[in-house]
Chains A and B, each alone.
Chain A
Amino acid sequence: MSRFRHLLKDFWKLCCSLKLAIVLATLATLTAFGGSLLMPSRPWIFANMDSVNLGEWLARQGRQYPGMTWWIHLYGALLLLLGLNTACCVADWLVHLRGRWRKSGEYLIHLGFVLLLAAYLWGCLAGFRVAGEAIAVGETRPVPRLPGYYLRLHAVEPVLGPSGRPMDVRSSLSLLRGETVVAEQAVRANHPLIWKGLTVLGLSFDQRNDGFRFTGSLGTLELRAGSRIALPDGGELHILDYRPNGARRGSGGGPFEPVFFGEIRHPGQPSEHVRYALREGLPSALTRIGLDLRPLAPLQQPVSILAIHYDPGLALAFAGALVMTLGILLAIGSFYYKRSRGDRPLL
Chain B
Amino acid sequence: MTEFAQILLWGAFLCYLLSVNLYLLHALIRRPLLWRGAFALVGLGFLLHSLCLGLRWYLAGYLPVTNLFSTLFFFSWALAATYLYFELRNRIHAAGLFVMLFNLLLLGTALPRDSALKPLIPALDTPLFTLHIAFSFLGYAFFAMAFSLGVLYLVQRRLGTALLPDLALLRQLNEEAIFLGFALFSLCMLFGGIWAQVAWGYYFSWNIKGLWSFLVWLFYAGMCHAKFVRRWQGTGYACLSILGFALVLFTYLGIGLLMSSNHPLD
| A interface residues with partner B (beta carbon < 8 Å) | 18-19, 21-22, 25-26, 28-29, 32-33, 36, 39-40, 46, 49-50, 53-54, 109, 120, 123, 129, 159, 161-162, 167-168, 188-192, 194, 199, 201, 307, 309, 311, 314, 317-318, 321, 324-325, 328, 331-332, 335, 344, 346-347
Contact = CB atoms under 8 A, between A and B. Distances in A.
Contacts of B226: 22
A53 B202 CA distance: 9
B222 A25 contact: yes
Contacts of A40: 208, 259-260
A314 B197 contact: yes
A168 B179 CA distance: 40
Given A39-B211, A129-B201, A314-B197, 18 more contacts: A25-B225, A49-B206, A50-B202, A50-B206, A50-B207, A54-B206, A123-B202, A168-B122, A188-B122, A189-B199, A190-B123, A317-B193, A317-B203, A321-B194, A335-B176, A335-B179, A346-B175, A347-B224
Interface in B213-253: 214-215, 218-219, 221-222, 224-229
Question: Which 4 pairs between the two chains have the least Cβ-Cβ distance?
Answer: A49-B206, A309-B201, A189-B122, A25-B222
Interface string B92-109: 000000000000000000
Contact of B175 (A49, A199, A347): A347
Contact of B186 (A21, A22, A201, A324): A324
Contacts of B186: 109, 324, 328
B226 to A, nearest CB: 6
A40 B211 CA distance: 12
A325 B190 contact: yes
Chain B, interface SS category: helix
A19 B179 CA distance: 18
Contacts of A161: 119
A332 B180 contact: yes
A28 to B, nearest CB: 6
A120 B204 contact: yes
Interface string B189-201: 0100111011111
A314 B200 CA distance: 14
Contacts, number: 111
Contact of A162 (B119, B194, B225, B260): B119
B212 interface: yes
B205 interface: yes
Contacts of A49: 206-207
A267 B219 CA distance: 80
B59 to A, nearest CB: 16
B187 interface: yes
B215 to A, nearest CB: 5
A54 B203 CA distance: 12
A29 B198 contact: no
A119 to B, nearest CB: 9
Given A36-B212, A40-B260, A311 B224 contact: no
B172 interface: yes
B195 to A, nearest CB: 8
B225 A22 contact: yes
Interface of B: 119, 121-123, 125-126, 128, 172, 175-176, 179-180, 183, 186-187, 190, 193-195, 197-208, 211-212, 214-215, 218-219, 221-222, 224-229, 259-260
Contacts of B193: 317, 321
22 contacts: A18-B229, A19-B229, A21-B225, A22-B222, A22-B229, A25-B218, A25-B225, A26-B222, A29-B219, A32-B215, A36-B215, A40-B208, A123-B202, A167-B122, A188-B122, A190-B126, A192-B201, A321-B194, A331-B183, A332-B183, A335-B180, A346-B175
A89 to B, nearest CB: 10
A11 to B, nearest CB: 20
A118 B152 CA distance: 41
Given A346-B227, A347-B179, A36 B208 contact: yes
Contacts of B215: 29, 32-33, 36
B196 to A, nearest CB: 9
Contact of A325 (B125, B187, B200): B187
Given A28-B218, A29-B218, A331-B183, A36 B211 contact: yes
A275 to B, nearest CB: 42
Contacts of A54: 206
Given A25-B218, A29-B222, A328-B187, A159 B122 contact: yes
B206 A46 contact: yes
A49 B179 CA distance: 32
A309 B225 contact: no
Nearest to B220: A25
A188 B200 CA distance: 11
Nearest to A120: B204
Contacts of B259: 40
B53 to A, nearest CB: 24
Nearest to A113: B221
A297 to B, nearest CB: 33
